Structure 1
Amino acid sequence: MSAPNPRRALTLIELLVVIAIIGVLVGILLPAVQAAREAARRMSCSNNFKQIGVAIHNYHAAYNKLPMQIGGTFHPRDNATYAGANRNRATNQFNLGFLVGLTPYLEQQSLWEQISNPYAFDVDGETVISPAWPAMGPEPSEPTYGPWSREIPTLRCPSDPGTGLPSLGRTNYAACYGDSTDWVETGYWRWDGGSSGWISDVLQATRANGSCRGVFVPRKFTAFKDVQDGLSNTIACGEIATDLGDRDVRTTPHLFTGWGPVGVHSNPRVCQPDRDPNRPRFWSVGFTNIGAPENRRGYSWANGGPLYSGFNTTLPPNNEICLGADHSSGGHAPASSRHAGGVHVLMTDGAVKFVSESIEAGDDTAPVVTSANAGRPSPYGLWGSLGTRASHEVIKEEF
């Protein structure tokens, strides 16, 4: 009887072949796994937006109006008493965003209770302070007021890695101001630098009526009845990326400090020359007019300013932010995201759609609509038309 053959081991060449095959398979499968993860994050982002859409409709059902973008509490006359830090602590300075009013409808009832009542704790939620914060909170950039620093999961896109200081609580979802830059930071009220404080008059109403053409009008309540172009044809909210401290043109504002005739109102591309020609996603290394590091895109969910929780449809998605003065001013604040190729938008009927960054956007160097030329069609093509609530433009294309 012959002895059994000894077990044959793998040769070095065979082992290398096996390792090479495994490497090839990993190389093939890894991008697919990463793509699947991003697809899941994108779906989660869409679901967050759907929840915000449901919250907006529930709010409207309760109050027959939409929550105000840039609103809140203020002392309209007594500027001397409420100067400086005292003024910022006593009221929220008429600067709250629409997301604050939605908190009870986003399963954040406890947070709403803290905001809507006097709140006697420091940012740590434990240290008792006196006097207590007022109902509806202080100015939304106040870092020691706990509710403004709260991270609300529904307001965050899973694809956006931004977190922590120097921001407060972040948001990836913003209100649509329409297709203009004129008066979108003040709307129906304006600040009189003298003794009058915040005032609303015929002049300001005329300005805002002509240029604030989106679903959300700063410092004025709007309702579904105002959306005459149809709820399914009009964008209510859009996605925004939050800043990572890397001078990204989508999230780091260019403070152009000029409105017209060669400024922000006259040409949406006025800030484009300061982009790095070799890395156009970022501002040039030598460009420094970007303001303080705490004033960046999406850095304060409670702040209604265009930089923080608003956007307009003048420039296509994922283009540069170009403001007319400082971080609190209006300007071109496009939608943006960390998803490849586009952004989510929430239509006013509650539908969520993904819009390509190459959407037809007309003449992106055309002057914006103002009260001087009110009523004209949007110069920014399909994208601009989707941002207006009552311009009577027919939407003929899929997007």
Structure 2
Amino acid sequence: MKRNAFTLVELLVVIAIIGVLVGLLLPAVQAAREAARRMSCSNNFKQLGLSLHNYHDTHQAFPLGATAITQGLSLHVALLPFMEQGNKYDRFIIEEVFNSANNRPLTQDAPMAMYICPSSPENTADDTEADYTTHYYGVMGPTGTNPQSGVAYKENTSGAHGGWSEQGLFRWGLKPKNFANIVDGTSNSLAFGEISWSERNGNATRYRAWTRGGQVNQYMAPAKNIARAINSDYTALFNDMSMGSEHPGGAMFGLCDGSVRFVSETINFSTYLSAASVNGRESDGL
């Protein structure tokens, strides 16, 4: 009896067609997944912005970047009650350091999904993988020269980790800022930025516990200066870590009005510096 079957040539053609279709499909699937992750990341920033405003409504000021205790707690802890995490906040001892016997277990019990970018492959601190980290950082302000006035931005240059900009929203253990201090306009001033990229700052050990604050005149773990371009490779100073992400072409940012923007890594650097200040009186806007 005559048997019907594929010839070898036909089989190879079918395999080749399937290979081409898979090759076309996979990038589309990956792009769809990244779009979903980017949307989730944007929603996290939106929640951060809402919690920041609710905090201000309650306290008539924004939270400090870190409590006025060396190795104290971060702004992320302060915002917990306004992100429906009041029960967790109540378990912290605010007057103690982040790694005290009472506070350290709360850093290690579970990742904080609202502080983690889903596109990043890492969610633990580099100095100890037992601690969960955050990918969303407060903006301390710009460093260098104001592109509008030509005058240097106000900066405390003490310490060995990059100094402290004085013209952003968050600071360490000093008088907190409020809406009246944002003279450049809330829609023109950055509040939060993203550091979630795998090749961050030369792959140096930079991620820290999401609860960790800072040390006076030394470093700030939960907030950073705007000193380098987005996605730029930089390893020298802890406070000057460059913002960056796994989202192609840039990173997510939250503004002081609660809105969220994806900012391109090719943004004019003068515009980027201007957006980082709350009182630089620059005319540039994102």
**TM-score of the pair, normalised by structure 2:** 0.83
Q: What is the one-letter code of the residue matched to 1:106? A: M
CA pair 7-37 structure 1, distance change in 2 beyond 3 A: same
The SS at the match of 1:178 is strand
Is residue 179–residue 214 contact of structure 1 (8 Å, CA) maintained in 2?
yes
Deviations 1:163-203 (Å, cap 9, x if unpaired)?
A: 346231210100001112843788xxxxxxxxxxxxxxxxx
Q: Identity of aligned pairs, percent?
A: 35
Q: Unaligned 5+ residue runs, structure 2?
A: 145-154
Deviation at 1:309, TM superposition (A): 1.8
CA pair 29-158 structure 1, distance change in 2 beyond 3 A: same
Q: Which residue of 2 aligns with 1:293?
A: none
Distance across 2 between alignment mates of 1:307 and 1:20: 55
CA pair 185-239 structure 1, distance change in 2 beyond 3 A: farther
Of residues 161, 181, 201, the one that matches 1:249 is 201
Of residues 248, 258, 280, the one that matches 1:350 is 258
The SS at the match of 1:346 is strand
Distance across 2 between alignment mates of 1:185 and 1:36: 46
Deviation at 1:339, TM superposition (A): 1.5
Deviations 1:53-104 (Å, cap 9, x if unpaired)?
A: 11101111111111111215x4xxxxxxxxxxxxxxxxxx363221111011
CA pair 309-334 structure 1, distance change in 2 beyond 3 A: same
Q: Which residue of 2 aligns with 1:173?
A: 136
**TM-score of the pair, normalised by structure 1:** 0.60
Please tell me the root mean square deviation across aligned C-alpha atoms, in Å.
2.6
Deviation at 1:386, TM superposition (A): 0.2
Is residue 237–residue 346 contact of structure 1 (8 Å, CA) maintained in 2?
yes
Q: Unaligned 5+ residue runs, structure 1?
A: 75-92, 116-134, 187-206, 253-295, 362-380
Q: What is the one-letter code of the residue matched to 2:201? A: V
CA pair 161-45 structure 1, distance change in 2 beyond 3 A: same
Q: What is the one-letter code of the residue matched to 1:40? A: A
Q: What is the one-letter code of the residue matched to 1:23? A: G
Residue 223, structure 1, aligned to residue 161, structure 2 = no
Larger radius of gyration between Structure 1 and Structure 2 = 1
Q: What is the one-letter code of the residue matched to 1:217? A: R
Matches within 5 A, 1:155-194: 155-164=115-124, 166-167=128-129, 168-180=131-143, 182-183=155-156
Matches within 5 A, 1:73-112: 74=69, 93=70, 95-112=72-89
Deviation at 1:137, TM superposition (A): 5.9
Q: Which residue of 2 aligns with 1:378?
A: none
Matches within 5 A, 1:1-399: 8-72=4-68, 74=69, 93=70, 95-115=72-92, 135-136=93-94, 138-142=96-100, 145-149=104-108, 150-164=110-124, 166-167=128-129, 168-180=131-143, 182-183=155-156, 211-220=165-174, 221-241=176-196, 248-249=200-201, 251-252=203-204, 296-305=205-214, 308-323=221-236, 330=239, 332-361=240-269, 381-395=270-284, 399=286
How many corresponding residue pairs?
Answer: 263
Distance across 1 between alignment mates of 2:13 and 2:169: 62
| Structure with the larger RCO, 1 or 2 (CA within 8 Å, 6+ apart) | 2
Distance across 2 between alignment mates of 1:304 and 1:94: 5
